[in-house]
Amino acid sequence: MTLINPRRRGNHTDVVAEGPLATEVDVIGGRRGGVTRKAVAVLRIAYGLTFLWAFLDKLLALGYHTGYDQAGHLDRFGDAAWIHGGSPTFGFLSSAEGPLSGLWHSVAGDGWIDWLFMLGLLGVGVCLTFGVAMWPGAVVGALMYVGMWSVVLPPENNPVLDDHLLGGLTLVVLALLAAGRTWGAGRWWAGTGLVRRWPALS
């Protein structure tokens, strides 16, 4: 159960949600709260569109970067498109390096992992873009980022960190900030019977 606890600071009152699935946080209160919420919403939408674009590119071979052959020639909507039998995971996973390379080589291009990957891209993209089911979207997206991070270890420019881990961390922060409530359908989603019954879907 989420409890709302008003806290007075100076000339304004911040609304702080308490509980494991708090949806309003102190950091976005105060004089700059509106600007902060909008900035966080822009970040959420940008990440969502990134996932959706990756899904469309791999689905249709739009050339960003799916659809290029070994010689660098682009065959847009060609054989590399998932709808035409291309694998969205084979190229990346077959080039895996590091301690988990054997695992990734063994599943590269398998139908089940292609489906999981594509459904993940679509699902996370929808959740983030429209601000619904932020927690499931953030968890799945973070797991995808960590999985992609593990394909090539260690990272090229840092012993541990790279943009995949930072992306995963960002998605979790967006869920913690209830980013779907600004310029998104998060408030409507939180009021549905489904989420009231299973708050983890918020």
pLDDT tens digits for the chain (202 residues)? 343 344 444 444 444 443 344 444 445 656 677 899 999 999 999 999 999 999 999 999 999 888 887 778 888 889 999 999 999 999 999 999 999 999 999 999 999 999 999 999 999 999 999 999 999 999 999 999 999 999 999 998 999 999 999 999 999 999 999 999 999 999 999 999 999 999 999 9
CA distances from 177 to 23, 38, 39, 107, 120 (A): 7, 12, 11, 36, 22
Q: 189 and 131 in contact (C-beta within 8 Å)?
A: yes
CA distances from 69 to 11, 56, 80, 83, 146 (A): 62, 18, 9, 17, 27
Cα-Cα-Cα-Cα dihedral of 189, 190, 193, 195, to 10°? 100
C-alpha 113/C-alpha 116 separation (Å) is 5
Query: What H or E segment, with its residue span, contains residue 86?
Result: none
Position 129 scores a pLDDT of 98
Q: 180 and 134 in contact (C-beta within 8 Å)?
A: yes
Position 137 scores a pLDDT of 98
**Single-letter amino acid code for the residue at 165:** L
Position 2 scores a pLDDT of 40
Position 21 scores a pLDDT of 46
Q: What is the pTM of this model?
A: 0.84
Q: 134 and 123 in contact (C-beta within 8 Å)?
A: no
